[in-house]
Each structure stands twice: as C-alpha cells, then as structure tokens.
C-alpha cells in the first residue's frame, strides 16, 4: 500500500495542527424579541393548572349625573371582569456525548476544551434560537405544544386567544390587536399613523392600571432598511452603548425600532408579507415556572442504560401572556 500525501509530508510527521481556541457560532442571528420576553418581561409563576390572566372587559354602568337632591342612583351590581387562560408549554434541549468523545477530549492538553462543555454551550445557543423563533409562532395553527406566540396574539377576528373570542365581548375591538392588512409601503406617514392611534389608546392619565402606550417596534432587517432608505437624511439612531443588551435601533416617533431575524416576512423586495410589530412591552409577559433562572427538578445528566453515552437534559415550562392585546399593533403586508 502506497503512503498517502500526508504520510509523505515531514512537517505533518513532526508537528500537530494548531487549533484556535475560539469556537465560532455560524448560526447566530438578531433576536430582539427573545431579549424582551425572556429577560425584561419574564414573570415567575409558582404553578397551577393553567396561567390565568384577569381582564377588565366591561364598564361600570352605575355612574352618571344626578340633581344632588332627591334623584335616585343605580345601585345594581355590574360585572366588569373576566379572564383568559393559557396552558403551560414545555421546551427541552438535550446534549449527548459518548465514551469515545470523552476519551479523546476530556481533561487533556491535546484538546482546546472539553467537547462536553463545547456541545453544552452550543446546545444552549441553539435553544435560544429555537425559543426566539417560537415566540413568533403559534400554539394553535401548526403545533399545539408550542407557545401561544405572536401568530396567535396578533390573530384576526374569529380566532380565540386565551380561550376568548373577540365576539365574546360587547365591543370586539377591545380584545383584538390593531391589525393593518392593507398597507404595503414602508414609510413614515403610514407607520406614524398606527403609532399615534396606539398612543392615544394606551396613554390615559389617571388610570390606576398604568400606561399601556407602545414603546418599541420589531421587524426583520428588510422592513427597517426600507424605512431608513426613505428618510436617510433624517435618521436618528439609538446609541447602543445606552442599551444593556447591545442592540442597535432607530427611533421613530419616540419608539425604538429593532431588528429580529425571526420576524415574519420574505424580505425579497416584492412580496407583501413582511410584518412590523408595534409593541407595548408593559402588556407582554413570559410566565414561567422552570427554565431561564429556575432549574427544573428534571434537569439532569443521565447515563444511558446499556450504552456508553451521557445525556445532559434541560427543561423549560412557561408560555407567553398578553395582558392587553388592543394596545399592540402590527402591519402584515409590507413590501421590503
């Protein structure tokens, strides 16, 4: 048998390959919605059969002007509240490694790092990307096991959210998000009008529940780029050093606009299917019991029976909850 080219190379015979110690993640993408939901708007929930969200859906009818003398007042009891319910949703990520992997990479100067640790770090990064995508998805349309994501939150009339239909309300608009299905052109007048409408809706003074005004926008890169190209001379960028996550954005009508690579849209410059979300962060929650900063009792490193394989398993239990859909809006047919 003839020697191979490597076997004939004397340099290879006396020197090993130098491997840089940094492992580059080739799959990284922008995921601002994950940052909002999983770090800023997370809320620990101790348990329960479901996650229940109380809602004020009806006005008190016992009010009005009287003559101040002998006029009677309405003392009837009036129902003002109902509730939405959200199921627990469960996510896992697993990392497995074999005896052969351990033999070649564990506790040896010949390895840049433990393969187990490298794979665990990689699995965590992949889990973040998987969860980032799921935040925009649906627990109804495609996968009942998935989060009740933004596809459900921004669904049209006739589709239940939290177990409630808009037709269950005396005024259906009080349960729906503001949806624009006609605008295709990305420009300031179109976007500003919806922002102003939501600001007027959510900015009541003297409201014990607080302000629900929108405070950020999220889209894919193409929608933001299309907008910036129309106002190139007037762009006002957010200083990323002021943002603890390091995301860059542009400010429009007082709202920060950020890119998320998982936001829906073809981004092909011709198809009218790109989304731009206008969000009131105060109405959004990621309710969780396990995961994030709470370890699950099922998190474990397990020896697989009858195989020289170790499996490292991590679980998350939670779901997305919106406390006020009508204070959020979306464009669904933008061309970018």
pLDDT, one tens digit per residue, over 13-47 is: 555 555 555 655 565 678 999 999 999 999 999 99
207 pLDDT higher than 80: no
Q: Pairing relation of β-strands 81-86 and 329-335?
A: unpaired
pLDDT, one tens digit per residue, over 104-120 is: 777 766 565 677 777 88
Sequence-distant (≥ 6) Cβ neighbours of residue 27 within 8 angstroms:
125, 126, 129
Residue bearing the bigger pLDDT, 93 or 3: 93
Q: What is the pLDDT of residue 2?
A: 81
Mean pLDDT for the chain?
85
Query: In angstroms, rounded to a whole number, what is the distance separating the alpha carbons of residues 60 and 66?
Result: 16
327 pLDDT higher than 50: yes
Helices (H), 136-187: 150-153
Angle at 12 between CA 8 and CA 15, to 5 degrees: 150
Cα 27 versus chain centre, distance: 18
66 pLDDT higher than 70: yes
Q: How confident is the model at residue 100 (pLDDT cuts 50, 70, 90)?
A: confident
Residue 73 CB burial class (10 angstroms; 0-12, 13-18, ≥19): exposed
Q: Is 227 helix (H, G, I), strand (E, B) or coil?
A: helix
Placement of tokens 């003297």 in the chain: 206
Sequence-distant (≥ 6) Cβ neighbours of residue 33 within 8 angstroms:
132, 135, 136, 150, 218, 260, 262, 263
Give residue limits of the domains in the chain. Answer: 32-55+81-335
Q: What is the pLDDT of residue 82?
A: 81
Q: Pairing relation of β-strands 178-180 and 329-335?
A: parallel
- What order do you get walking across the sheet with 272-279 strand by strand? 178-180, 329-335, 272-279, 216-219, 255-259, 249-252, 237-238
Among 52-56, 102-106, 213-217, the range scoring the smallest mean pLDDT is 102-106
């Amino acid at each position: 048998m003839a020697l191979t080219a490597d076997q004939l190379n004397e340099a290879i015979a006396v020197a090993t390959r130098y491997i840089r110690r940094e492992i580059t993640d080739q799959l990284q993408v922008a995921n601002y919605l994950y940052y909002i939901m999983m770090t800023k708007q997370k809320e620990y929930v101790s348990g329960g059969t479901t996650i229940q969200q109380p809602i004020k859906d009806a006005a008190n009818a016992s009010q009005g002007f009287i003559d101040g003398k002998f006029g009677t007042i309405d003392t009837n009891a009036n129902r003002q509240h109902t509730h939405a319910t959200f199921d627990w949703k469960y996510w896992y990520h697993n990392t497995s490694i074999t005896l052969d992997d351990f033999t070649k990479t564990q506790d040896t100067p010949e390895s840049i790092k433990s393969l187990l640790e490298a794979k665990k770090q990689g699995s965590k990064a992949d889990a973040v990307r998987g969860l980032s995508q799921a935040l925009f998805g649906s627990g109804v349309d495609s996968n009942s096991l998935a989060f009740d994501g933004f596809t459900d939150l921004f669904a049209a009339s006739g589709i239940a959210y939290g177990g409630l239909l808009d037709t269950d309300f005396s005024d259906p608009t009080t349960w729906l998000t503001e949806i624009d299905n006609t605008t295709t052109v990305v420009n300031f007048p179109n976007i500003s009008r919806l922002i102003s409408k939501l600001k007027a809706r959510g900015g009541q003074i003297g409201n014990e529940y607080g302000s629900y005004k929108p405070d950020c926008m999220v889209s894919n890169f193409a929608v933001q780029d299309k907008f910036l190209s129309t106002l190139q001379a007037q762009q006002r960028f957010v200083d990323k050093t002021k943002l603890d996550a390091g995301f860059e954005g542009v400010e429009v009508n007082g709202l920060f606009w950020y890119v998320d690579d998982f936001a829906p849209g073809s981004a092909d410059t011709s198809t009218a299917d790109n989304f731009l979300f206008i969000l009131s962060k105060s109405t959004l929650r990621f309710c969780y019991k396990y995961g994030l900063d709470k370890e699950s009792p099922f998190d474990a490193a397990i020896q697989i029976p009858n195989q020289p394989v170790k499996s490292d398993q991590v679980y998350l239990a939670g779901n997305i909850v919106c406390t006020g859909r009508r204070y959020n809006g979306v464009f669904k047919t933008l061309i970018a």
